[in-house]
Amino acid sequence: MVDTSAIGINVLVIQPAPPKWAIDIMKYLGEGQVLGDQEEARKVRNRAAHFTLWEGVLYRRGFSKPLLRCVSPEETQYVLAEIHERICINHSSGRALVARVMRAGYYWPHSLWDVEDLVKKCPKCQEHAPIPHCLPEQLTSIVPPDPLNNGGLTSSAHVSRARKEGSL
């Protein structure tokens, strides 16, 4: 319990559990041990090169990004809802929303997939989505019938018949 007497509010701080996908990485960074066979240990060591553990919280390091806090699947839904519906009222979708999540300082694997699922379920995003102006399949051309080819007659027969009638 954190006492903020200046404001007059008591705040309960909940320490979230580490993400399940990152437990092996946290064990390797914190204790230096890797469980499993050599191939699995190699994968964990390679993945751990992109992460850092600071005060018990796992962060992902990026080339030009600040440290991104790794969140669990339960926290991702809250983060997405906050950014998609409350903070960014314009209901951005796809890569734009993932970029906003990362600028806010959060990371989890497969974030683009989770964002696409959220956008598919959001009624306002579906209502205001751009309408595709192309058909789902290619158009097939229909060849019009030959105007000179009537009743199985060839065009030369049609011309000779027209000459006899005097219309040519």
Give the pLDDT confidence score for residue 4 in this predicted structure. 45
**What residues contact residue 11 under an 8 Å CB cut-off, 6+ apart?**
1, 2, 4
- The model carries a pTM of 0.60
Residue 98 pLDDT? 87
Q: How far apart are CA 117 and CA 146, in angstroms?
A: 52
Whether residue 72 is predicted with pLDDT greater than 60 in this model: the reply is yes
Q: What is the pLDDT of residues 102-154, one digit of tens each?
A: 888 888 888 888 888 888 888 887 777 777 777 667 777 777 776 665 555 45
Asked whether 62 and 105 are in contact (CB, 8 A), the reply is no
In total, the chain counts a number of residues equal to 168
pLDDT, one tens digit per residue, over 13-51 is 555 677 778 888 888 888 887 777 888 888 888 888 889
Please give the DSSP secondary-structure letter assigned to residue 84.
I
Strands lying side by side in the sheet with 51-54: 51-54, 57-60, 68-70, 106-107
